[in-house]
Protein backbone atom coordinates (compact mmCIF):
# COMPACT_ATOMS: atom_id res chain seq x y z
CA UNK A 1 0.00 0.00 0.00
CA UNK A 2 1.27 3.46 -0.87
CA UNK A 3 2.07 5.79 2.00
CA UNK A 4 0.45 9.09 2.95
CA UNK A 5 2.89 11.82 3.97
CA UNK A 6 1.57 14.86 5.85
CA UNK A 7 4.24 17.57 5.98
CA UNK A 8 4.44 19.23 9.38
CA UNK A 9 7.35 21.54 8.59
CA UNK A 10 6.71 24.87 10.36
CA UNK A 11 7.15 26.95 7.19
CA UNK A 12 4.68 24.78 5.28
CA UNK A 13 2.13 24.92 8.09
CA UNK A 14 2.54 28.68 8.48
CA UNK A 15 1.91 29.30 4.79
CA UNK A 16 -0.98 26.82 4.59
CA UNK A 17 -2.73 28.82 7.32
CA UNK A 18 -2.77 31.90 5.06
CA UNK A 19 -3.78 29.83 2.05
CA UNK A 20 -6.82 28.66 4.02
CA UNK A 21 -7.75 32.19 5.15
CA UNK A 22 -10.71 33.51 3.12
CA UNK A 23 -9.29 37.03 3.41
CA UNK A 24 -6.12 36.14 1.46
CA UNK A 25 -6.38 37.80 -1.97
CA UNK A 26 -5.58 36.30 -5.35
CA UNK A 27 -2.01 37.65 -5.59
CA UNK A 28 -0.99 36.47 -2.13
CA UNK A 29 -2.83 33.15 -2.56
CA UNK A 30 -0.98 32.45 -5.80
CA UNK A 31 2.39 33.33 -4.28
CA UNK A 32 1.75 31.17 -1.22
CA UNK A 33 0.76 28.17 -3.35
CA UNK A 34 4.02 28.63 -5.27
CA UNK A 35 6.03 28.73 -2.07
CA UNK A 36 4.34 25.75 -0.41
CA UNK A 37 4.67 23.70 -3.61
CA UNK A 38 8.41 24.37 -3.66
CA UNK A 39 8.78 23.48 0.01
CA UNK A 40 6.82 20.27 -0.44
CA UNK A 41 8.84 19.32 -3.51
CA UNK A 42 12.03 19.85 -1.53
CA UNK A 43 10.80 17.22 0.95
CA UNK A 44 9.46 14.85 -1.72
CA UNK A 45 12.79 14.76 -3.54
CA UNK A 46 14.83 14.07 -0.41
CA UNK A 47 15.38 10.43 -1.40
CA UNK A 48 16.27 10.97 -5.08
CA UNK A 49 19.30 8.90 -6.09
CA UNK A 50 22.63 10.62 -6.70
CA UNK A 51 25.91 9.66 -8.28
CA UNK A 52 29.40 10.93 -7.64
CA UNK A 53 31.19 13.02 -10.24
CA UNK A 54 34.45 14.93 -10.33
CA UNK A 55 34.52 18.68 -10.91
CA UNK A 56 37.26 21.25 -10.82
CA UNK A 57 36.74 24.19 -8.50
CA UNK A 58 38.83 27.37 -8.75
CA UNK A 59 41.05 25.81 -6.07
CA UNK A 60 41.26 22.04 -6.73
CA UNK A 61 39.52 18.99 -8.11
CA UNK A 62 36.62 17.73 -6.01
CA UNK A 63 34.23 14.82 -5.90
CA UNK A 64 30.59 15.77 -5.51
CA UNK A 65 27.08 14.45 -6.13
CA UNK A 66 24.59 15.04 -8.95
CA UNK A 67 21.14 13.62 -9.48
CA UNK A 68 20.95 10.17 -11.03
CA UNK A 69 18.14 7.83 -12.01
CA UNK A 70 14.89 8.76 -13.68
CA UNK A 71 14.19 12.29 -14.89
CA UNK A 72 11.22 14.19 -13.47
CA UNK A 73 7.86 15.03 -14.99
CA UNK A 74 5.21 17.34 -13.54
CA UNK A 75 1.56 16.60 -14.41
CA UNK A 76 -0.87 19.26 -13.18
CA UNK A 77 -4.57 18.42 -13.19
CA UNK A 78 -6.20 21.37 -14.93
CA UNK A 79 -6.90 23.91 -13.97
CA UNK A 80 -5.99 24.30 -10.30
CA UNK A 81 -2.95 22.03 -10.55
CA UNK A 82 -1.28 24.66 -12.73
CA UNK A 83 -0.89 26.85 -9.67
CA UNK A 84 1.62 24.42 -8.18
CA UNK A 85 3.86 24.07 -11.22
CA UNK A 86 6.00 27.22 -11.05
CA UNK A 87 7.20 26.55 -7.50
CA UNK A 88 8.25 23.04 -8.50
CA UNK A 89 9.95 24.09 -11.72
CA UNK A 90 11.96 26.71 -9.82
CA UNK A 91 13.60 23.76 -8.05
CA UNK A 92 13.71 21.35 -11.03
CA UNK A 93 13.90 23.49 -14.18
CA UNK A 94 14.65 20.52 -16.43
CA UNK A 95 11.42 18.74 -15.55
CA UNK A 96 9.00 18.18 -18.42
CA UNK A 97 5.39 19.20 -17.93
CA UNK A 98 2.28 17.38 -19.10
CA UNK A 99 -1.35 18.33 -18.59
CA UNK A 100 -4.49 16.39 -17.75
CA UNK A 101 -7.74 18.34 -18.12
CA UNK A 102 -10.54 17.19 -15.85
CA UNK A 103 -13.62 18.84 -14.45
CA UNK A 104 -16.02 17.58 -11.81
CA UNK A 105 -19.60 17.10 -12.92
CA UNK A 106 -21.64 19.14 -10.41
CA UNK A 107 -24.43 16.57 -10.38
CA UNK A 108 -22.53 13.27 -10.12
CA UNK A 109 -19.27 14.67 -8.65
CA UNK A 110 -17.51 12.36 -11.15
CA UNK A 111 -14.51 13.56 -13.21
CA UNK A 112 -14.81 14.17 -16.94
CA UNK A 113 -11.60 14.23 -19.01
CA UNK A 114 -11.52 16.90 -21.72
CA UNK A 115 -7.78 17.26 -22.47
CA UNK A 116 -4.51 15.36 -22.12
CA UNK A 117 -1.03 16.20 -23.40
CA UNK A 118 2.00 14.37 -22.04
CA UNK A 119 5.75 14.08 -22.66
CA UNK A 120 6.49 11.23 -25.05
CA UNK A 121 8.81 9.54 -22.54
CA UNK A 122 6.58 9.40 -19.45
CA UNK A 123 7.44 5.71 -19.02
CA UNK A 124 11.02 6.81 -18.30
CA UNK A 125 10.13 9.58 -15.86
CA UNK A 126 9.31 9.98 -12.20
CA UNK A 127 5.95 11.75 -12.37
CA UNK A 128 4.46 14.13 -9.81
CA UNK A 129 0.72 14.71 -10.28
CA UNK A 130 -0.33 18.04 -8.78
CA UNK A 131 -3.74 19.21 -7.58
CA UNK A 132 -4.23 21.59 -4.64
CA UNK A 133 -7.22 19.62 -3.34
CA UNK A 134 -7.78 15.89 -2.94
CA UNK A 135 -11.51 15.89 -2.22
CA UNK A 136 -13.59 12.98 -3.50
CA UNK A 137 -10.49 11.47 -5.12
CA UNK A 138 -12.23 11.11 -8.48
CA UNK A 139 -10.03 13.53 -10.42
CA UNK A 140 -6.81 12.12 -9.01
CA UNK A 141 -7.88 8.55 -9.76
CA UNK A 142 -8.88 9.47 -13.32
CA UNK A 143 -5.62 11.32 -13.93
CA UNK A 144 -3.53 8.43 -12.64
CA UNK A 145 -5.62 6.01 -14.73
CA UNK A 146 -4.80 8.08 -17.83
CA UNK A 147 -1.09 8.13 -17.05
CA UNK A 148 -0.89 4.39 -16.42
CA UNK A 149 -2.77 3.65 -19.65
CA UNK A 150 -0.06 5.57 -21.49
CA UNK A 151 2.82 3.68 -19.90
CA UNK A 152 3.67 5.62 -16.73
CA UNK A 153 4.94 3.41 -13.92
CA UNK A 154 6.45 5.82 -11.37
CA UNK A 155 3.78 8.23 -10.13
CA UNK A 156 3.32 10.27 -6.97
CA UNK A 157 0.42 12.53 -5.99
CA UNK A 158 1.03 15.94 -4.43
CA UNK A 159 -1.82 18.02 -2.95
CA UNK A 160 -2.05 20.93 -0.54
CA UNK A 161 -5.03 19.62 1.43
CA UNK A 162 -6.91 16.33 1.37
CA UNK A 163 -10.06 14.77 2.80
CA UNK A 164 -9.78 11.29 4.34
CA UNK A 165 -12.46 10.02 1.94
CA UNK A 166 -10.39 11.03 -1.09
CA UNK A 167 -7.20 9.56 0.32
CA UNK A 168 -8.94 6.25 0.97
CA UNK A 169 -10.40 6.03 -2.53
CA UNK A 170 -7.08 6.83 -4.22
CA UNK A 171 -5.37 4.17 -2.13
CA UNK A 172 -8.04 1.62 -3.05
CA UNK A 173 -7.82 2.42 -6.77
CA UNK A 174 -4.03 2.83 -6.90
CA UNK A 175 -2.39 1.10 -3.93
CA UNK A 176 1.08 1.70 -5.40
CA UNK A 177 0.80 5.50 -5.26
CA UNK A 178 2.34 7.61 -2.48
CA UNK A 179 0.34 10.71 -1.53
CA UNK A 180 1.93 13.91 -0.21
CA UNK A 181 -0.16 16.61 1.48
CA UNK A 182 0.35 19.69 3.62
CA UNK A 183 -2.93 19.16 5.45
CA UNK A 184 -5.16 16.13 6.06
CA UNK A 185 -8.53 17.66 6.86
CA UNK A 186 -11.66 16.53 8.68
CA UNK A 187 -14.14 15.42 6.02
CA UNK A 188 -16.14 16.22 2.88
CA UNK A 189 -19.39 18.13 3.13
CA UNK A 190 -22.55 17.19 1.22
CA UNK A 191 -21.38 19.24 -1.78
CA UNK A 192 -18.09 17.38 -2.02
CA UNK A 193 -15.95 20.21 -0.61
CA UNK A 194 -13.16 19.62 1.89
CA UNK A 195 -13.90 20.79 5.44
CA UNK A 196 -12.31 23.05 6.59
CA UNK A 197 -10.35 23.09 3.33
CA UNK A 198 -9.41 26.25 1.48
CA UNK A 199 -12.39 26.90 -0.78
CA UNK A 200 -12.19 26.49 -4.54
CA UNK A 201 -8.47 26.56 -5.30
CA UNK A 202 -8.97 27.25 -9.01
CA UNK A 203 -11.17 30.27 -8.39
CA UNK A 204 -8.83 31.63 -5.74
CA UNK A 205 -5.75 31.12 -7.94
CA UNK A 206 -7.23 32.72 -11.05
CA UNK A 207 -9.61 35.27 -9.55
CA UNK A 208 -12.77 33.71 -10.95
CA UNK A 209 -16.10 32.76 -9.45
Give dist(CA 7, CA 158) in Å, integer: 11
* Active site (annotated) includes residue 108: yes
Residue 44's Cβ-side half-sphere holds a number of Cα atoms within 13 Å equal to 29
* Active site (annotated) includes residue 17: no
Question: Annotated binding residue at 199?
Answer: yes
* Active site (annotated) includes residue 104: yes
* Helix, strand, coil tally for the chain in percent (to 5): 35, 35, 30
- Select from 122, 101, 120 the least CA-distant residue to 112: 101
Question: Annotated binding residue at 137?
Answer: yes
Question: Annotated binding residue at 131?
Answer: yes
Question: Annotated binding residue at 138?
Answer: yes
Catalytically annotated residue among 104, 145, 153, 178 = 104
Give dist(CA 92, CA 122) in Å, integer: 16
Question: Annotated binding residue at 145?
Answer: no
Catalytically annotated residue among 46, 57, 108, 190 = 108
Question: Annotated binding residue at 132?
Answer: yes
Question: Annotated binding residue at 133?
Answer: yes
CB 99 within 8 A of CB 116: yes
Q: Catalytic amino acids? A: 104, 108, 200, 203
Binding residues: 79, 104, 131-139, 194, 199-201
Binding residues for 5-phospho-alpha-D-ribose 1-diphosphate: 79, 104, 131-139, 200
Binding residues for uracil: 194, 199-201
Amino acid sequence: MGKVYVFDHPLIQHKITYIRDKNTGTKAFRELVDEVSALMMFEITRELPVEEVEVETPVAKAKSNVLAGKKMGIIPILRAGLGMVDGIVDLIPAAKIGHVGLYRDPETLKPVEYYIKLPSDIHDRELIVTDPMLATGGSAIAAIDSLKKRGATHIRLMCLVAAPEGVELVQEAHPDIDIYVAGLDEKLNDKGYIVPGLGDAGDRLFGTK
